[in-house]
């Protein structure tokens, strides 16, 4: 019985209708639980939605904990001890915490903490668990971990060097080193908000060179993930 529950609550395998239905229901509940975050005012229907969704999330969390041995350590008691500190379990727990005051008045102090309320956004991460497409992307990122780590180190080095150069070349335009870090990060992503920018000729030359390198660095992870995604799709088809 527990094994079948585990099969249903995990990502659906081809032909497992019950698991597909469960995944669909959970995705729907996650989506509607995020609707209140798009409104500043509170409406009675939001309370009903939150009660229903948080109850479903608690049941899901309990079922996953009760079947943790099938995923972490088959037939070992340690699986039930380790499960609450796994990444997915922590995401599940943090997505439930903001709504506990709805189920029990003893948690009413959580209502006053807007940061706690914002933790509901973590429910978006829960959706990753129930989507086959997202699961493929996560697998691609995991398989390309070393290449992406190299790009991350390169990006960090680029930001640090660019910030140090512009901070010393344009001391009047950047009041703090954090401002320079912010400018370098924005330049790396080629966003260009325009709130901070160099005004001297040397500073503009640095910005031009920095932007050109930024375009190249930003393109690297996209290429790595795309290549990995195509490879994963081919494996899936085979």
User: Of the candidates 189, 186, 197, which has an alpha carbon nearest to the alpha carbon of residue 216?
Assistant: 189
| Rounded mean pLDDT, 131-160 | 82
**Which range of residues forms the domain containing residue 36?**
2-130
41 and 117 inside one domain: yes
Residue 45 lies in a domain: yes
**Burial class of residue 238 (count of CB atoms within 10 Å of its CB; 0-12, 13-18, 19+):** exposed
pLDDT band at 234 (very low <50, low <70, confident <90, very high): confident
Residue 93 lies in a domain: yes
Residue 195 lies in a domain: yes
User: Of the candidates 166, 192, 190, 194, which has an alpha carbon nearest to the alpha carbon of residue 178?
Assistant: 166
Q: Residue 36: which H helix or E strand, with range?
A: none
Report pLDDT digits (tens) over 75-125: 677 888 888 888 888 888 877 876 665 545 554 444 444 455 556 666 777
124 and 151 inside one domain: no
Residue at which a domain ends, from 104, 130, 156: 130
Identify the top-confidence range among 12-26, 109-123, 127-141, 144-158. Answer: 144-158
Residue 133 has pLDDT above 50, yes or no: yes
**Burial class of residue 55 (count of CB atoms within 10 Å of its CB; 0-12, 13-18, 19+):** middle
In this predicted structure, what is the pLDDT of residue 219?
82
Helix H segments across 67-200?
78-82, 87-96, 100-103, 114-118, 123-130, 132-143, 145-169, 177-188
**Model pTM score:** 0.61
Residue 225 has pLDDT above 50, yes or no: yes
| Rounded mean pLDDT, 4-15 | 77
In this predicted structure, what is the pLDDT of residue 217?
83
* 46 contacts: CB under 8 Å, gap ≥ 6: 35, 36, 39
Q: How many CB atoms lie within 10 A of CB 142?
A: 10
Residue 164 lies in a domain: yes
45 and 162 inside one domain: no
Residue 138 lies in a domain: no
Residue 236 has pLDDT above 50, yes or no: yes
Residue 136 lies in a domain: no
Residue at which a domain ends, from 102, 130, 158: 130
What CATH number does residue 168 fall under?
1.10.287.70
Q: How does 188-213 read in b/e, with b if 16+ C-beta sit within 10 Å? A: beeeeeeebbbeeeebeebbeebeeb
Report pLDDT digits (tens) over 15-66: 778 888 888 888 888 888 888 877 878 788 888 888 888 889 899 999 988 8
pLDDT band at 164 (very low <50, low <70, confident <90, very high): very high
Query: In the chain, how many domains are there?
Result: 2
In this predicted structure, what is the pLDDT of residue 160?
92
């Amino acid at each position: 019985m527990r094994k079948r529950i585990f099969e249903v609550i995990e990502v659906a395998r081809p032909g497992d209708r019950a698991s597909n239905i469960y995944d669909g229901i959970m995705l729907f509940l996650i989506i509607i639980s995020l609707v209140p975050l798009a409104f500043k005012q509170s409406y009675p229907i939001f309370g009903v939605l939150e009660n229903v969704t948080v109850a479903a999330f608690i049941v899901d969390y309990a079922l996953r904990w009760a079947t943790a041995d099938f995923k972490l350590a088959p037939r070992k008691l340690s699986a039930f001890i380790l499960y609450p500190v796994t990444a997915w379990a922590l995401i599940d727990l943090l997505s439930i915490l903001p709504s506990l005051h709805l189920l029990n008045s003893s948690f009413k102090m959580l209502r006053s903490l807007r940061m706690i309320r914002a933790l509901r956004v973590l429910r978006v991460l829960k959706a990753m668990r129930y989507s086959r497409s997202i699961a493929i992307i996560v697998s691609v990122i995991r398989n390309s971990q070393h290449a992406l780590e190299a790009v991350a180190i390169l990006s960090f080095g680029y930001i640090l060097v660019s910030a140090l150069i512009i901070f010393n070349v344009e001391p009047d335009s950047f009041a703090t080193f954090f401002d320079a870090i912010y400018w370098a990060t924005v330049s790396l992503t080629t966003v260009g908000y325009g709130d901070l920018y160099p005004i001297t000729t040397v500073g503009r030359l640095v910005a031009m060179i920095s932007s050109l390198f930024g375009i190249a660095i930003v393109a690297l992870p996209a290429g790595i993930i795309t290549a990995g995604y195509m490879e994963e799709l081919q494996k899936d088809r085979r």
